Amino acid sequence: MSPCDLKRHVKFNDLLSANAVHMDALSQAAADIIRSGWYIGGENCQAFESEFAAYIGCEHVVGVANGTDALELAIRSLDLRDTHSILSVANAGFYTATAARLAGMTVKYIDIDPKTQLMDIAQIELSLKGGDIGAVVITHLYGLCADMTPVVALCKNYGVHLVEDCAQAHGARRAGQLAGSFGDISTFSFYPTKNLGAIGDGGAVATNSAELAAKVRQLKQYGWSKKYQVDMDKGCNSRLDEIQAAFLRIKLKSLDSENAFRRSIANRYSAEIHNEKVQTPPRFGPEHVAHLYVVHAEDREAFQSYLSENNIQTDVHYPVPDHLQSVNSGTVVDLKHTEYSASHCLSLPCHLGMSAEDVSWVIQTVNNWT
Ligand SMILES: Cc1ncc(COP(=O)(O)O)c(C=O)c1O
């Protein structure tokens, strides 16, 4: 019997396995910080900010508490007028909408390109011509960096800010350039399941603008210009703590090799899944970081139940598009590809805790679905 003939249990994520390889270094770092007696705003946070800035090729990185705060503070740093809207996609989990709404902005949505599941670049210009868009937020979803050259050019032509949401794209590249280094400002989440994941919450804002970085730094700490002096209204407390920063410094060193591992799983899926009822994405090139492996199936619910009966956990990213969330005040928009994807997409396990046999079991089980 070959190993993949054995019925296996494949989790959707396995954070313990993913972190096991770092266990000694993480434990040592935590112990060192506890013993140091200095827990917030110390040398690890500073060092992580410099090291991550060097990694992505940006001048400034500011650590914050999570990826949603990163988006909110990035948007607020742009000082948009309240007549401005944010242009975004509706298939990326409502994170941009949450941040934009907290920043007092409304969101306008355009559809995705079904081939990439990213913002349909061909539709951006029409929206920018309307004149009320203050910033475009591009989400590099599932680990794929968008084709940024035309987006950067459009934003420049129309005098609109460009924000990159890189929460699912740490280390992803386009023509050799890292996601997060194209726009005016970019944001990262270090939620534990992310390609660069903390052991808790964390986030960062990256930019080449000293002015924007300084605004984010001020906003994330009560609006202080110096200790106890509030010179910026509506600041908040959104800090990356020393222990998480130290963990991220350790894990950053293996981000590229871990991304390559995820990509190898995704590429086995794309090469070996052959079931006409399951639409797979094309093979991932070397610049894709395979954060999620998302297929589409007409009868998604039946497919998901079948996989679950065969001990394969899956998830849906994301079942409710932003414009159909109940809290959205309801501009009616035609987002047919977004809506199709929300009701047919399914994410297969693609993570660092998977063995070759786990991947084979998923492939064999998907191929046997009738
Ligand atoms: C695309 C995207 N943007 C933003 C976020 C928000 O990050 P966080 O959960 O750290 O607030 C996430 C994470 O879940 C995400 O996937």
Per-residue pLDDT tens digits for 178-188: 999 999 999 99
Q: Is the predicted pLDDT of residue 177 greater than 50, yes or no?
A: yes
What domains sit in the chain, N to C, each tagged with a CATH number? 3-13+254-314+349-367 (3.90.1150.10), 23-110+117-252 (3.40.640.10)
This prediction's pTM: 0.97
Cα–Cα distance for residue pair 20/14, rounded to 1 Å: 10
Cα–Cα distance for residue pair 199/15, rounded to 1 Å: 9
Q: Is the predicted pLDDT of residue 5 greater than 60, yes or no?
A: no
Q: Ligand 1 pocket, 144 CB below 6 A?
A: no
CA of 187 to the centre of ligand 1 (A): 9
Q: Which atom of ligand 1 is nearest to the CA of 140?
A: 1
CA of 83 to the centre of ligand 1 (A): 26
Q: How confident is the model at residue 8 (pLDDT cuts 50, 70, 90)?
A: confident
Q: What local confidence, expressed as pLDDT, does residue 228 receive?
A: 98
Q: What percent of the chain has pLDDT over 90?
A: 94
- Contact indicator for 222, 236 with CB cutoff of 8 Å: yes
- Contact indicator for 140, 91 with CB cutoff of 8 Å: no
Q: What local confidence, expressed as pLDDT, does residue 83 receive?
A: 83
Q: What is the mean pLDDT of the chain?
A: 96
CA of 317 to the centre of ligand 1 (A): 12
3 state DSSP class of 280: coil
* Lowest-pLDDT choice from 106-110, 331-335, 352-356: 331-335
Q: What local confidence, expressed as pLDDT, does residue 46 receive?
A: 98
- Contact indicator for 262, 291 with CB cutoff of 8 Å: yes
Q: Ligand 1 pocket, 139 CB below 6 A?
A: yes
Q: What local confidence, expressed as pLDDT, does residue 225 receive?
A: 96
- Contact indicator for 88, 108 with CB cutoff of 8 Å: yes
Q: Is the predicted pLDDT of residue 112 greater than 80, yes or no?
A: yes
Q: What local confidence, expressed as pLDDT, does residue 1 receive?
A: 44
Residue minimizing CA distance to atom 8 of ligand 1: 67
Tokens of 206: 């990256």
Cα–Cα distance for residue pair 267/106, rounded to 1 Å: 38
Q: If residue 137 lies in a helix (H) or strand (E), which one and from where to where?
A: strand 133-139
Q: Is the predicted pLDDT of residue 79 greater than 80, yes or no?
A: yes
CA of 217 to the centre of ligand 1 (A): 20
> Could you read off the pLDDT of 120-176 as tens digits, one per residue?
999 999 999 998 999 999 999 999 999 999 999 999 999 999 999 999 999 999 999
- Pick the closest to residue 365 from 283, 304, 301 (CA basis): 304
Q: Ligand 1 pocket, 89 CB below 6 A?
A: no
Q: Is the predicted pLDDT of residue 248 greater than 50, yes or no?
A: yes
- Alpha carbon dihedral 22, 346, 338, 328, in 10-degree steps, equals -70
Q: Which atom of ligand 1 is nearest to the CA of 71?
A: 4
Cα–Cα distance for residue pair 269/264, rounded to 1 Å: 9
Q: Which atom of ligand 1 is nearest to the CA of 139?
A: 1
Q: Ligand 1 pocket, 202 CB below 6 A?
A: no
Q: What local confidence, expressed as pLDDT, does residue 334 receive?
A: 85
- Pick the closest to residue 152 from 185, 176, 129, 126 (CA basis): 185
Q: What local confidence, expressed as pLDDT, does residue 7 receive?
A: 72
CA of 357 to the centre of ligand 1 (A): 30
Q: What local confidence, expressed as pLDDT, does residue 3 receive?
A: 47
Mean pLDDT of 89-93: 97
Q: What local confidence, expressed as pLDDT, does residue 344 receive?
A: 98
Q: Ligand 1 pocket, 94 CB below 6 A?
A: no
Q: Ligand 1 pocket, 165 CB below 6 A?
A: yes
Pocket test residue of 13, 66, 68, 107 for ligand 1, highest count of atoms within 8 A of CB: 68
CA of 370 to the centre of ligand 1 (A): 35
Q: 303-317 burial by CB neighbour count: b if 16+ within 10 A, else e? A: bbebbeebebbbbbb
Q: Ligand 1 pocket, 143 CB below 6 A?
A: no
Cα–Cα distance for residue pair 115/291, rounded to 1 Å: 17
Q: Ligand 1 pocket, 347 CB below 6 A?
A: no
- Pick the closest to residue 48 from 250, 259, 255, 289 (CA basis): 250
Q: Which residues is 226 bridged to in the sheet?
A: 229
Q: Ligand 1 pocket, 66 CB below 6 A?
A: yes
Q: Ligand 1 pocket, 56 CB below 6 A?
A: no
Q: Ligand 1 pocket, 95 CB below 6 A?
A: yes
Q: Is the predicted pLDDT of residue 269 greater than 80, yes or no?
A: yes
**What is the β-pairing status of strands 85-88 and 106-109?**
parallel
Pocket test residue of 144, 191, 294 for ligand 1, highest count of atoms within 8 A of CB: 191
Chain centroid to CA 199:
16
> Which one is predicted more confidently, 328 or 319?
319
